[in-house]
Every structure is written in C-alpha cells, then in structure tokens.
Amino acid sequence: MDFKILFTPVKIGSMEVPNRFVVPPMGTNLANVDGTVSEEFTDYWEARARGG
C-alpha cells in the first residue's frame, strides 16, 4: 500500500493542515473529580506532544 497522501497538506476551509493524521476524541479519565484539568492530564498531553 502507498500512504504518501497521508503526509501531504490538506485545506479545510481557509486552514491548511500539514498532514492528514487525526486524533479522534477519546476519554483518558485523567480529569479531577470536579471535571477540571489535572496535573496528570497535562502531563499526558505534554508527553504526546513530545512524541513516542
């Protein structure tokens, strides 16, 4: 299979996205009991942003 198109930019309205990868909505259950953002939740997204 050839996946080259996944790495090409795409326009969505006036916004250009650098590739066609998406992260679907998902639950992490890392929020505080009252629904606010927890330290663990921000650590999770920081790790994802770094990659790996």
Query: Three-state SS for 10?
Result: strand
CB 23 within 8 A of CB 34: no
Q: Report the pLDDT value the prediction gives residue 52, as an integer from 0 to 100.
A: 59
Q: Where are the beta strands (DSSP E) in 1-52?
A: 10-12, 15-17
Q: Report the pLDDT value the prediction gives residue 22, as an integer from 0 to 100.
A: 83
Instruction: Report d(CA 43, CA 40) in Å as an integer.
Output: 5
Q: What is the pLDDT along the chain (52 residues), one digit of tens a residue?
A: 788 899 999 999 999 999 988 888 888 999 999 999 999 999 999 998 898 5
Give Cα separations from 47 to 1, 9, 40 (angstroms).
30, 24, 11
Q: Report the pLDDT value the prediction gives residue 43, as an integer from 0 to 100.
A: 96
